[in-house]
Amino acid sequence: MEILTKEKAKEGIEVSVINIVGYKNNSSRTLTIPNEKGIIKRILPSRRLPVLVEFYKNIGGHSGNSIDFKGKAGHCWWCRYDELMIVNQIKVNLNWISNND
């Protein structure tokens, strides 16, 4: 596996968390989910946390908080590129997680 970079980030690829990810309640970095896997759903390069991942498991996150994407409640989190490893560069069905348990 390799660390995700801006150049390699694509919606639909599977990623895994390297380390602590995200901010909770706009305070300190408190969500610890190493090795959790999910699918990149949105990439907004202008954001401080540009990569929206919808995880397979409920991580205590949110549903995406995106204008054009609503994921499964508790499964989504915005991340930095360097917090993620590429698991599978083959795009997966973007609707699979949201539509199935």
Q: Please report, for the domain that includes residue 26, its CATH number.
A: 2.30.30.50
Structural domain range at position 83? 1-94
Asked, for residue 3, whether it belongs to a domain, the answer is: yes
Asked, for residue 99, whether it belongs to a domain, the answer is: no
Asked, for residue 100, whether it belongs to a domain, the answer is: no
What is the Cα Rg of the chain in Å?
12
What are the tokens at 9?
């980030």
Greater confidence, 100 or 81?
81
> What torsion do the CA atoms of 66, 92, 22, 77 make, to the nearest 10 degrees?
40
Q: What is the pLDDT of residues 45-85, one digit of tens each?
A: 998 889 999 999 988 888 887 667 788 988 998 889 999 99
Asked, for residue 27, whether it belongs to a domain, the answer is: yes
Asked, for residue 101, whether it belongs to a domain, the answer is: no
Q: What is the pLDDT of residues 23-37, one digit of tens each?
A: 555 554 456 677 899
Asked, for residue 15, whether it belongs to a domain, the answer is: yes
- Counted domains in the chain: 1
Report the C-alpha gap between 15 and 10 in whole angstroms: 10
